[in-house]
Amino acid sequence: MKTEKQFQLRFYLMPEMIFALGLLMILTVCFFATTNTIQRMDKSFTDESCGLMVVDNTLERLEHKKQYNVEDVKRIFLDEYEKSGIKDRTKMLAGFTPNSVGAMLAIIKNNGKPLIEVQIKCQQ
């Protein structure tokens, strides 16, 4: 035999359960949205780090040569760009521009702005 108080207790638990489930759903959506944002930031950081490593590796390879000209710089830079795999994973481009002083190396991001630009003095 159930008393009237027990029926009242169940009646008041149902809105609490609905509120708790709604709150759990909101927290779950926020968690997955945050996880997605973190994954995109990680991919962006990895891509930018790879772009910087391309220029760094190029400079290290040039450091071991006693003399180098514009063609050597271009060959080494484009070789590092190809071997990094950045072209396949992202839309970043390698920019090489010879000028009167030597050459300008650049990694261009998806938005068209340079991630890094380096001026190298070398023989023509």
pLDDT tens digits, residue range 55-76? Answer: 999 999 999 888 888 999 999 9
Rounded mean pLDDT, 42-51: 90
Strands 114-121 and 93-98: unpaired
User: pLDDT category, 77, cuts 50, 70, 90?
Assistant: very high
Contacts of 68 (CB under 8 A, 6+ apart): 62, 122, 123
Q: Is the pLDDT of residue 103 over 60?
A: yes
Query: How far is residue 79's CA from residue 61's CA, in Å, rounded to a whole number?
Result: 11
The region that residue 80 occupies, defined by phi over 0 for left and psi between -120 and 50 for alpha, beta otherwise, is: alpha
Distance of CA 15 to the CA centre of its chain: 44
The region that residue 112 occupies, defined by phi over 0 for left and psi between -120 and 50 for alpha, beta otherwise, is: left
Q: Can you give the pTM of this predicted structure?
A: 0.73
